[in-house]
Every structure is written in C-alpha cells, then in structure tokens.
Amino acid sequence: MRLFGQDTTFYDLLEAQAEAAHRAALTFHKLTRNFLNMAEYAAQIDRIEKEADELTHQLANRIDATFVTPLDKEDLHALSSALDDVTDLIEAAAARLQLYNLTVPRPDIGPLVGLLVQITEATHDAVSELRQLRRREVMQPLFVRIHEIENESDSAFRLALATLFNAPDPEPLMVMKWKEIYDRVEMAIDKCETVSDIVESVVVKYA
C-alpha cells in the first residue's frame, strides 16, 4: 500500500529530512573526536541545517498546496517538524562547542553522540518504511530499537551530568557550557523517539 498514491514527493522529502539529521549526527560525531577541525565540522553541520530547513519549507508548502492528502495534514506537519528539530538541536550543540571555545573534549561526549548517530540512523530507517507502509508487527523491531537507544541515552546523559557536576573543584562556567551541550544532544535523541512515535501512530491509523 502506498501512503501517498503515485506521488512520491512526500516520501522523498521526509526521507531527505531524516537523512539530513543522520548526516548532521555523523558530522557532529566526527567533531567530538577531532576538536582541531571544529570550525570545519561546525560549518558542515550549519550547511546541513540550512538544507534541512529548506526541505521543511518545501514539504510544508506542498502540504498546504494539496487539497486532499491521504495522510492527515497534522501528522505530516508533526513528523516534518520533529525531524527538523533533530537537525536544529544538533546544529545548536555544535555551534555552542565552537562559541564557547572548548578545546578539549570530555570523555563522555563521544559515547553520548555515538548513541545520537545510532538513533538517527534507526529513525531514518523507520521513516523510509512509510513508503510501503509496513504492518505494525513488521516495523515493531525498529520502534523497539529506537526506544532502547533512547533509554540507553538517558543513562549516558545522567552519568555525564553526574561526572560533570561531581568533579573535584568544578569550574562553574565550564559546567554550564558542557551542560548546555549535553542537554541539546539529549533533546535531539528524545526528538528521534518522538518521530518514531508519530510513525507508529501513522502505521496504526493507515495499515
């Protein structure tokens, strides 16, 4: 069953948004392992974020220009907005690393961003399945995987904060800087789970 009939534009744009989020996560992961090239990686992520914004605008315009859509317009808008938020949050985290002149990565940022890479990849896979609108039981392993990664990230996030706050003689300003970065990575991961929830609800509604 095809969700949007013969017009694949909706699928193409949604999948491109999910792919942009995954590319941003991959580039951010590279940044966290190589602060010497921070400016280059941050610029790449900024370009990806602008590309993702354009995809969001294109999809919104197409939704508004289509009189009747086989999928509720609010579902399309919600899915597109959540995907765009993922990329926006990754860009915000990368921009703060550069803005705050951080020169040495903390050991817990890499594993946390590694989970971001995993969940954006799984999210892209879930969004791509909408093209054929798989049965819920077929897609369930993807939804479970995304939920598992989000749970794992919660633990990694709490551990990172505990290590940050409980370090001997912590520098308050440095603590604030890193907390802002961790917060945005965790919010990006949470948004991926939001995307998964929307996809699952669509599958239930239209399968």
Question: What average pLDDT score do residues 31-50 get?
Answer: 96
Closest CA to 83 of 145, 34, 25: 25
Question: What average pLDDT score do residues 202-206 get?
Answer: 85
The pLDDT-based confidence of 181 (bands split at 50, 70, 90) is very high
At 24 the three-state DSSP class reads helix
The pLDDT-based confidence of 6 (bands split at 50, 70, 90) is low
Give me the residue spans of the domains in the chain. 9-206
Between CA 145 and CA 150 the distance in angstroms is 9
User: Could you tell me which CATH class the domain 9-206 is placed in?
Assistant: mainly alpha
The pLDDT-based confidence of 73 (bands split at 50, 70, 90) is confident
The per-residue pLDDT for range 12-27, each reduced to its tens digit, is 999 999 999 999 999 9
Least confident of 39-53, 130-144, 175-189: 130-144
The per-residue pLDDT for range 42-71, each reduced to its tens digit, is 999 999 999 999 999 999 998 888 777 666
What is the number of other CB atoms lying within 10 angstroms of the CB of residue 15?
18
Question: What average pLDDT score do residues 75-91 get?
Answer: 96
**Taking a C-beta distance cutoff of 8 angstroms, is the pair 69, 4 a contact?**
yes
